[in-house]
Amino acid sequence: MNLTGADAPRVAVVTLGGTIASAGPAGAPVQPTLGARELVEGLAAVAGVSLEVHDLVRVPSVEVTLADLFAVAERIGAARDQGAVGAVVVTGTDTLEEAAFALDLLAPPGPVVVTGAMRPPGTPGSDGAANLLAALRVAAAPAAAGLGALVVLGDQIHAARYVRKTHTASPAAFTSPSLGPLGEVVEGRVRLRARVGPLPGLPGTRPQPPFPPVALVGIGLDDDGRVVRALAGLGHAGVVVEAVGGGHVPAALVGALGDLVARGPVVLASRTGAGPVLASTYGYAGGEVDLLARGLISAGSLDARHARVALRVLLAAGASPAQVAAWFAACEAA
């Protein structure tokens, strides 16, 4: 479906559902029922763009899959081939940070702008239309070219690899703790104050479904390790460990983690939300020096959820553990 404007830059819009598309009877819980045409109605003229819209699915974001995002990337690629200057992807906020990073890996070079809403349409303070309008403006902005996938909510522009949802309900839920926003939309103008380099290229073949399963296991105080030990029999193709601090686990877990390395790549991330996994500070059993020496792969500054998306995509591309390690190292250097 095309919503055209004379001589206006064309932006592809792909909708997946989420809060921004949710409605229901007055006072009742909402569900994602609104389609792409309903969401973008009236926005093309205000943003000064022409729209090519695709209504892919209407689901809460916990139901969005990597296969769905692969389909989104394919549609964006086709739209680019037909002259679209950028794309906007509309989805729910619960998994928006992971969806945006997956598109950073799978979609053509940006801008691919991911947005959503924290409050449903028709409720006081509903933010969906404003977020979508800002996202359209960023997607069409020449200054955003080459930035890959971006997240735009609350008029702030974030890099997909750093953004996190940090509150369950606040309209200001999305932040980038390690970097801060790249810019903002003010009075309808896109203002970029920082840039990030492109992600490193993926080794092997173009990744596509099915994406291999990767476990994500969190570590906490007095962890007895039974979840880590159980992973060996569950058939995952890889593991991401969300360790404490700079990348640390109790000593009782290091043997089991070493055994997992023999089965597939094990990526070490931090649960703190900002800063990189350390490399050479703590030498005790279970410290980052010990774990890296046992073959765990540092996630660098990527948090565990971003690292899990990256590992699934890398494995789908046929990457070896050595190639996985090289990619994460290159990502940290980018």
Parent domain of 266: 214-333
Q: Label residue 113 exposed, middle or buried (CB < 10 Å: 0-12, 13-18, 19+).
A: buried
Considering the domain boundaries, does residue 73 fall inside one?
yes
Residue from 4, 15, 19, 91 carrying the catalytic annotation: 19
Are residues 220 and 119 part of one domain? no
Residues 121 and 219 in one domain: no
What CATH number is associated with residue 30?
3.40.50.1170
Cβ 232 vs Cβ 260: under 8 Å: yes
- Same domain for 109 and 232, yes or no, is no
Same domain, 176 and 269: no
3-state secondary structure 72-100: HHHHHHHHHHCCCCEEEEECCCCCHHHHH
Q: Is 272 among the domain residues? A: yes
- Whole-structure pTM value: 0.95
Residue 271 and residue 274: Cα distance in Å, rounded?
8
Same domain, 129 and 271: no
Are residues 49 and 8 in contact, defined by beta-carbon separation less than 8 angstroms?
Answer: yes
Residues 172 and 68 in one domain: yes
Residue with tokens 């948090």: 303
DSSP secondary structure code for residue 38 in this structure: H
Q: How many domains does the chain have?
A: 2
Query: Is residue 27 domain-shared with residue 153, that is, in the same domain?
Result: yes
Q: What are phi and psi of 187, to 5 degrees?
A: 50, 35
| 271/134 same-domain check | no
- By the 8 A CB rule, do 21 and 90 touch? yes
**The domain spanning residue 280 has which CATH number?**
3.40.50.40
In a domain, 153, yes or no: yes
Do 79 and 177 share a structural domain?
Answer: yes
Give the pair of three-digit tokens for residue 138. Answer: 């960023």
Token pair belonging to 315: 């494995």
Active site residue 19: yes
Within its chain, how far is the Cα of 290 from the centroid? 30
Regarding whether 120 and 188 lie in a shared domain, the answer is yes
Query: Between helices 304-316 and 321-333, what is the axis angle to 10°?
Result: 130
Per-residue pLDDT of the chain (334 residues; tens, 9 = 90+): 555 555 799 999 999 999 999 998 887 899 999 999 999 999 999 999 999 999 999 999 999 999 999 999 999 999 999 999 999 999 999 999 999 999 999 998 879 999 999 999 989 999 999 999 999 999 999 999 999 999 999 999 999 999 999 999 999 999 999 999 999 999 999 999 999 989 999 998 999 999 999 999 999 999 999 999 999 999 999 999 999 999 999 999 999 999 999 999 999 999 999 999 999 999 999 999 999 999 999 999 999 999 999 999 999 999 999 999 999 999 999 8
3-state secondary structure of 126: coil
Longest Cα–Cα distance of the chain, Å, equals 66
The set of residues, in sequence order, having a beta carbon less than 8 Å from that of 200 and lying 6+ positions away, is 327, 330, 331, 334
